[in-house]
Amino acid sequence: MYSGPKHRTYAKQHEKHNDKSLPEHPGLPGRIPRRRELTHNHPADHPCSCRPARSTHPRLPCPAYPQLHVCPHLNHPAPSLSNKHSFFDMDLIRDTTSPYPQMLPTASHFASCVAALGITKDDVLVIYDAVDVGIYSSPRVAWMFRFFGHEAVHVLNNFRVYVSQGYPVASGEMRPLPSVSKYPVSPLDSDRVISFEELRELVLAREEEVQIVDSRIAGRFSGEEDEAVAGLSSGHMPRAVNVPLAAMLEDESRTFLPVEKLKEVFERAGVDGRAPLVLTCNSGVTAAALDLALGETGFRNPRRIYDGSWMEWARRVDRPELIVKDVH
């Protein structure tokens, strides 16, 4: 599945969900158990159905996904399994009534959109961003699926590596998949999100047991750089620490760093391995990359994403002390 603000996320599906591990590929690290959320294995390595998903973002360029995507005719050991592709459009699969971008949709809206993409609850999904993006929106799309009860979902690390190592790709427009009659509406996992109101109360109460981790770029976090949205204050929430998305990725390939290097990034930033974490960013997208990377590196403390993130916080706070700038 292909995702990202006009980014691509690719999902592969196993028609029958079981507990076997994903097969090892000799060209990439390790054997990744299916329970892991980040996979270095390639879609071609085991029977699955491929579903690209597209998400859009107002400030990012629109990569030409139709020009390059996972080949829909991979050779699988189980020839009865078909490869299926879908675009996950984050501009559509969101709360379209909210003034803030990328807010979670209702469970029923998510279910109806996913059914229209031809995705079933038994599908095993692998999400990827476009080759020119690396990693950006795919963790958010995967996180959304898990939030709505679809646990068999992974993020490909990443499509750029897949292409560079010579795996099959295709070009041209993808024909839409037939929709399915129904995708089940699941109860929301409220333990994975935090609202503005609750976070504001925690900050005002100076709740020391909770730590806020922000993945925005360093200049906007510190207040040194202006936000891209005119009139929106830069800065950060009180006592937040900064782990920008770029700090978690390799410079050239834009893959996630190896686990040991990710641990070093979090340790240098002062991320607490015991405290409950609130993860935030600009609009709730790259906070999901934080969630994924923390899980992969062994952080077991509770983690919640602040869905509105800075786009909501900076507009709604009613006290000057709720926005901190490290420059004067």
Q: How confident is the model at residue 39 (pLDDT cuts 50, 70, 90)?
A: low
Judge contact between 10 and 2, C-beta under 8 A.
Answer: yes
Share of the chain above pLDDT 70, in %: 73
Does the structure show a pLDDT above 90 at 166?
A: no
pLDDT in tens, 246-273: 999 999 999 999 999 999 999 999 999 9
User: What confidence score (pLDDT) does residue 2 get?
Assistant: 53
pLDDT digits (tens, 9 = 90+) for 196-250: 999 999 999 988 889 999 999 999 999 999 999 999 999 999 999 999 999 999 9
Angle between helices 287-296 and 138-147 (to 10 degrees): 80
Mapped onto helix, strand or coil, the DSSP state of residue 283 is: coil
Q: Is 281 a catalytic residue?
A: yes
- In whole angstroms, give the CA distance from residue 222 to residue 10: 34
Exposure of 320 in the CB half-sphere (CA atoms within 13 A): 1
List the structure tokens of 119: 């995705």
41 band by pLDDT with thresholds 50, 70 and 90? low
What does the alpha-carbon distance between residue 52 and residue 2 come to, in Å, rounded to a whole number?
Answer: 3
Helix (H, G, I), strand (E, B) or coil at 235: coil
Over 50: is that where the pLDDT of 55 sits? no
Q: Single out the catalytic residue among 48, 50, 113, 281.
A: 281
Q: Judge if pTM exceeds 0.85.
A: no
pLDDT at 312 over 60: yes
